[in-house]
Structure 1
Amino acid sequence: MDYLRELESKRVHDSFDETMKKVGRCVCVPGPIIVGAGPSGLAVAACLKEKGVPCVIIERANCIASLWKLKTYNRLHLHLPKKYCELPFMPFPAKFPTYPTKEQFVEYLEDYVKKFDLEPQFNQTVESANYDHSLGLWRVKTVGVKEFRYSRWLVVATGENSEAVVPEIEGINEFEGPVVHTSSYKSGETFSGKKVLVVGCGNSGMEICLDLCNNNAQPSIVVRDTLHILPREMLGRSTFGVSMWLLKLFPICLVDRILLFISWFILGDTSRIGLDRPNIGPLQLKCTSGKTPVLDVGTLAKIKTGEIKVRPGVKRTTCRTVEFTDGSAEEYDAIVLATGYRSNVPSWLKDKEMFSEEDGLPRRSFPHGWKGEYGLYAVGFTKRGLLGSSMDAKRIAQDIEQSWKAEVKPFTAFTRTPAPAS
């Protein structure tokens, strides 16, 4: 069935057509609409291209992979080996190191776009997307454009890291020094010679502390809860690779015990330096809560020598002082919020079934969260990094290809601009 002809026929008779005359034009997209031109969105587009299915990628920023290009610190490297971060149909260059730099990863993505001849439409922020049951199509509206795009399929590729999370801290507006989120942090050079409090002890918080140390700053890190720290490599291989191999042989609870024993042997007892571990193992914790273990790249050694101080939760701040939950207080020159990101899907996607309004993530956990109803898909929400995105991208493309071949005849998209309202 040619759904564009069906749409045109319905518009002739529906009152919606009268509304469109006042609102703007209707653009019918022959293939899926992909929202987001980060690695996940690009992966889906490439998989669709390989299957001969056209698509439209819309991106709110002015470039691909805006998080990587614009909102990451200079010393960032991939935390996992490159072979676990490849997008479909294109390996990393052999000359790249095991853990590519931020610049190398961006170069890889740009080459990926060229190889598959992808053409994202930039500066297109989605205002709303909802399913029109009367037409059987998704209707997408972008900010500042009097235009609706229609498609049978909608792929949400905005990912888990769309918006910076900025916690509410009592008195933070009174603090006289700079307060920056990691999305604005570039290098520790800016803070050389200063006392800096880093709030957040994930991989970014730990690595920023190390960067500050290496640039002659005096960092402290806030650790409010228990956390797992693992060496980035063990037994001559990446910890992630060892974990994947062990999971093929043993149950996850036993693999956790093995990882923790090796970590204790390499890193020692982290509780002695104020870093208590959770009662549940690192892989089980990842599966149940999505909390990723920290892969140590040298920060732990700086904590052991006292170059990086571990502090409890923040209670309040004043003009220069930070008070902690244990009653202690200390003066700082700057605060870096390594408090992560969250999904922004609930702010624009009107479907309430597939995505949780609480956290903006698919309600169904991996590996079932990639597909919703009425041609709605999600990629980049697995909490399993680029490997998870690549797996879902392939599933999505295969699923769309089946309905594409069964229901839609190839055609050229048309654009109809309604006559001016009288």
Structure 2
Amino acid sequence: MLMEYLKELECKMIHDYQKKDKMATSIFVQGPIIVGAGPSGLAAAACLKQKGIPSLILERANCLASMWQLKTYDRLKLHLPKQFCQLPLMPFPKGLPSYPTKQQFLSYLKAYANHFDINPIFGKQVVNAEFDHVCGVWRVKTQEVIMKKSIVIEYVCQWLIVASGENAEEFVPSIEGMEQFQGPILHTSLYKSGSMFCGKNVLVVGCGNSGMEVCLDLCNHNAHPSLVVRDTVHILPQQIFGKSTFGLSMWLLKWFSVHFVDQFLLIMSHLILGDTSQYGIQRPKIGPLELKNLYGKTPVLDVGTVAQIKTGKIQVCKGVKRLAHNAVEFVDGKVENIDAIVLATGYKSNVPSWLKGSDMFSEKDGLPRKPFPNGWKGEKGLYAVGFTKRGLLGSSIDAKRIAEDIEHSWKALKAKPLA
């Protein structure tokens, strides 16, 4: 009965739409359209399928989890234990280490898609998505190049799930003198291994988890890295008392306040890592968990970089003022010869470039205007997954909520008469 109703609704929607635009050809999608085939999009599709709701994933790349497959360095491992990174309805296979490698995680994602029979349409760049108030549907236009010809296809649906993520596009800062610098300048999305920099002086700009780990990787390949630390940052040990710092924090928060747990983390960090300020790394005045809750700024989980900073193998530098042919001048006036630069400057959302007519996402940063845990739902069947700044755990939470919410509308279609 429901499928017959949806087919009738499909014909009505396409008829109404074609009356509005006689030149249009549209593909009607019975369930939600999901933009993005990363972990968040897969999680949403799996949760929907569990409830008997079909979906269609549109992915601009030619593979699952393109960020993980194409834009991450070789030594990458999950920064949090696997139990906090598994997707809904399917745990990691037994026998994996606590912190799975990049390849192990990719294998898990591929197995996940196979298990739930999720088959994204690859090579579909969404260039415009907008709600049609006349027909009451979302119109999602994709563009792809076939035989050197640009092909535009439009999909029509009632629910649109934005799963393109916080990390859709590389953020590359503008630094004075970049065009004059003679060495390579690459974003971490292009960095694979320190082997190509053996014996070189490499400047790493950015002191988040990626920047710190790239510095460690450069050390392991006999390069000479310098780390730019422009702002304050919390560095925590990855483990405390042999337990995951993140997991221990979540357990303590069940009984104690955020302020208390923050103080505990800072004391343990001082005992394990020492006073990082004497090496040029200042901590924020706000505690690590409170800072995360207020501003979404993730603390760095140390995997050995601090030890290399202490030995002097990694030099900590102030902000960059300008670049020259083979040197960098820092804001404190110091000048150093540099052979290459790695920009560990992060990523940004690209949602404002293609989602039109909705105020759910901020034009400034491309993230939902409502903070976690309320940023997953917009109006007129619009949803967001993977924008919580809480990693895969946040994506799983939102995927479940979205599926439950759409289920109510899906069931209501049975009783809704056609106009």
Equivalence for 2:179? 173
Please tell me whether the aligned partners of residues 164 and 349 of structure 2 are also in contact (alpha carbons under 8 angstroms): yes
1:408 Cα deviation after fit = 4.9
Q: 1:183 is paired with a residue of what secondary structure?
A: helix
Equivalence for 1:384? 390
Of the three residues 360, 367, 371, the one matched with 1:361 is 367
Query: What are the superposed Cα offsets for residues 224-273 of structure 1, whole Å, 9 maximum, x if unpaired?
Result: 01100000000221000011011111111111011101111111111111
Give, in whole Å, the separation in 1 of the partners of 2:13 and 2:273: 66
1:18 Cα deviation after fit = 5.7
Equivalence for 1:91? 91
Please tell me whether the aligned partners of residues 25 and 146 of structure 1 are also in contact (alpha carbons under 8 angstroms): no
Equivalence for 1:323? 329
Equivalence for 2:251? 245
Please tell me whether the aligned partners of residues 48 and 54 of structure 1 are also in contact (alpha carbons under 8 angstroms): yes
Taking a change above 3 Å as real, the CA distance of residues 10 and 171 of structure 1, as seen in their structure-2 partners, is: same
Give, in whole Å, the separation in 1 of the partners of 2:414 and 2:169: 36
Q: Which amino acid aligns with 2:239?
A: E
Gaps of 5+ in 1: 411-422
Taking a change above 3 Å as real, the CA distance of residues 303 and 385 of structure 1, as seen in their structure-2 partners, is: same
Query: What are the superposed Cα offsets for residues 353-383 of structure 1, whole Å, 9 maximum, x if unpaired?
Result: 1100000000001110000000000000000
1:194 aligns with 2:195: no
Please tell me whether the aligned partners of residues 6 and 30 of structure 2 are also in contact (alpha carbons under 8 angstroms): no
Give, in whole Å, the separation in 2 of the partners of 1:116 and 1:159: 21
1:111 aligns with 2:111: yes
Please tell me whether the aligned partners of residues 7 and 135 of structure 1 are also in contact (alpha carbons under 8 angstroms): no
Q: Which amino acid aligns with 1:117?
A: D
1:135 aligns with 2:135: yes
1:7 Cα deviation after fit = 6.0
- Identity within the alignment, %: 62
Give, in whole Å, the separation in 2 of the partners of 1:19 and 1:37: 31
Q: Which amino acid aligns with 1:298?
A: G
Q: 1:172 is paired with a residue of what secondary structure?
A: coil
1:396 aligns with 2:402: yes
1:269 aligns with 2:269: no
347-356 or 177-186, which deviates more:
347-356
Q: Which amino acid aligns with 1:222?
A: V
206-215 or 252-261, which deviates more:
252-261
Give, in whole Å, the separation in 2 of the partners of 1:315 and 1:78: 33
User: TM-score when scaled to structure 1?
Assistant: 0.94
Please tell me whether the aligned partners of residues 20 and 26 of structure 1 are also in contact (alpha carbons under 8 angstroms): no
Q: 1:134 is paired with a residue of what secondary structure?
A: coil
Q: Taking CA–CA contacts closer than 8 Å with sequence separation of 6 or more, which of the two structures ends up with the larger relative contact order? A: 1
Give, in whole Å, the separation in 2 of the partners of 1:268 and 1:262: 9
Q: Which amino acid aligns with 1:212?
A: L
Give, in whole Å, the separation in 2 of the partners of 1:391 and 1:352: 23
1:21 Cα deviation after fit = 4.0
Give, in whole Å, the separation in 1 of the partners of 2:394 and 2:113: 20
RMSD: 1.5
1:407 Cα deviation after fit = 1.4
Please tell me whether the aligned partners of residues 14 and 28 of structure 2 are also in contact (alpha carbons under 8 angstroms): no
Runs of 4+ in structure 1 deviating by more than 2 angstroms, as ranges, are: 1-12, 16-22, 144-147
Taking a change above 3 Å as real, the CA distance of residues 134 and 38 of structure 1, as seen in their structure-2 partners, is: same
Please tell me whether the aligned partners of residues 181 and 324 of structure 2 are also in contact (alpha carbons under 8 angstroms): yes
Gaps of 5+ in 2: 144-149
Of the three residues 216, 233, 241, the one matched with 2:222 is 216
Query: What are the superposed Cα offsets for residues 291-349 of structure 1, whole Å, 9 maximum, x if unpaired?
Result: 10000000000000000000000000011110100011111000000000000000000
Equivalence for 1:416? none
Equivalence for 2:18? 17
Give, in whole Å, the separation in 2 of the partners of 1:55 and 1:238: 36
Query: What are the superposed Cα offsets for residues 206-230 of structure 1, whole Å, 9 maximum, x if unpaired?
Result: 0000000000000000000110000
Of the three residues 367, 373, 377, the one matched with 1:371 is 377
1:146 Cα deviation after fit = 3.4
Q: 1:167 is paired with a residue of what secondary structure?
A: coil
Equivalence for 1:278? 284
Give, in whole Å, the separation in 1 of the partners of 2:248 and 2:153: 50
Query: What are the superposed Cα offsets for residues 113-144 of structure 1, whole Å, 9 maximum, x if unpaired?
Result: 11001100000000100001111111000014
Please tell me whether the aligned partners of residues 33 and 56 of structure 2 are also in contact (alpha carbons under 8 angstroms): yes
Q: 2:138 is paired with a residue of what secondary structure?
A: strand
Please tell me whether the aligned partners of residues 4 and 28 of structure 1 are also in contact (alpha carbons under 8 angstroms): no
Equivalence for 1:29? 29
Taking a change above 3 Å as real, the CA distance of residues 6 and 107 of structure 1, as seen in their structure-2 partners, is: closer
Give, in whole Å, the separation in 2 of the partners of 1:9 and 1:288: 46
Count of residue pairs the alignment pairs up? 407
Q: 1:47 is paired with a residue of what secondary structure?
A: helix
Equivalence for 1:346? 352
Equivalence for 1:414? none
Taking a change above 3 Å as real, the CA distance of residues 4 and 362 of structure 1, as seen in their structure-2 partners, is: farther
Give, in whole Å, the separation in 2 of the partners of 1:20 and 1:5: 20
Q: 2:47 is paired with a residue of what secondary structure?
A: helix
Please tell me whether the aligned partners of residues 273 and 303 of structure 1 are also in contact (alpha carbons under 8 angstroms): yes
Give, in whole Å, the separation in 1 of the partners of 2:39 and 2:126: 18
